[in-house]
Structure 1
Amino acid sequence: MTKQGKNFTLLDIGPFEKLGERDSKGSGGKYFVGKDLGLTGCEVSLNRLPAGKAAPFVHAHKKNEELYIILGGNGTFFVDGNEFPVQEGSLVRVAPAGERAWKAGDADLYFICIQAQAGSLTQATSEDGMRLLTRASWMESLSAEK
């Protein structure tokens, strides 16, 4: 399901267990969402790697750093010859030149990978965010509770 408004796109792809059915690159569990969402500042992939399976190659990037957010399962990450365990709650940032690969452990490995050009972040949320007077429907009941 996709829904669009002036300033948003909603894409519902269903459970992560079914990522292989939405595979955008033919790898059996990787779904790039950038094009479908109209992303302009980063690329995002949703990933499911079956237990015991591994990335078939080591890769690096020319410009993009990557942030891997492990949502479930466990496995091993490889970066520049270093191998280390990952599990739900692990976060791995890899610089563009970092040589990377991963392998699922005894459970399917679920992760999100966010790619953005290294050095392109000029301000973080505290400098970029603006508090507005607009209210969401649930905020009225929260105000009445105080």
Structure 2
Amino acid sequence: MTTTAQNYSADHIGPFEELLNKDFMGFHGKYFIGKELGLTGCEVSLNRLPAGKAMPFIHSHKKNEELYIVLRGSGMFYVDGDEFPIQEGSLVRVAPEGERGWKAGDEDLYFICIQAEAGSLTQATLEDGKRHDTKASWMQK
């Protein structure tokens, strides 16, 4: 159940091991969170691909670049004819035009995919962040 307030939304989907219970257009193990959380600047999917399984097609995008963050497991990634190994800690950015696909290795592959319109980032955290004097309960002395 999603909790929403003026300046945030929060949800809890449970352990990543249960992602295979989620379904997106017939794909088990893929869960998009943009709609549930009301994201306005990017789309995010949480993914669990069973061992030995692969994305069933190669795809690209019209506008969105993607960032893949591998949390657990290993496998192979394909971009524009290049194939390379991925594992926990791997980060892969793919431009919209890049033709991409992936395959899990001997264990389930857990990853997050973040999509945002290519070229839309106008500032980074240091330029955009602003400190406040407000304190959370654990900061009180």
Q: TM-score range by the shorter chain?
A: over 0.9
| Preserved CA contact (<8 Å) 1:25 1:31 | no
Q: How many residues align?
A: 141
Instruction: Return the alpha-carbon distance in structure 1 between the equivalents of residues 4 and 26 of structure 2.
Output: 27
Aligned partner of 2:5 in structure 1 is: 5
| Residue 126 of structure 2 corresponds to residue 126 of structure 1 | yes
The alignment's TM-score, normalised by the length of structure 2, stands at: 0.97
What's the C-alpha RMSD, in Å, of the aligned pairs?
0.8
Larger Rg: 1
| Preserved CA contact (<8 Å) 1:75 1:105 | yes
Aligned partner of 1:17 in structure 2 is: 17
Aligned partner of 1:113 in structure 2 is: 113
The alignment's TM-score, normalised by the length of structure 1, stands at: 0.94
Instruction: Return the alpha-carbon distance in structure 1 between the equivalents of residues 91 and 6 of structure 2.
Output: 32
Instruction: Return the alpha-carbon distance in structure 2 between the equivalents of residues 31 and 109 of structure 1.
Output: 14
| Residue 140 of structure 2 corresponds to residue 140 of structure 1 | yes
Name the structure where helix makes up a greater proportion of residues.
1
- Amino acid of the residue matched to residue 123 of structure 2? Q
Aligned partner of 1:81 in structure 2 is: 81
Gaps of 5+ in 2: none
Q: Quote the sequence identity (%).
A: 72
Aligned partner of 1:144 in structure 2 is: none
Instruction: Return the alpha-carbon distance in structure 2 between the equivalents of residues 2 and 95 of structure 1.
Output: 31
Aligned partner of 1:93 in structure 2 is: 93
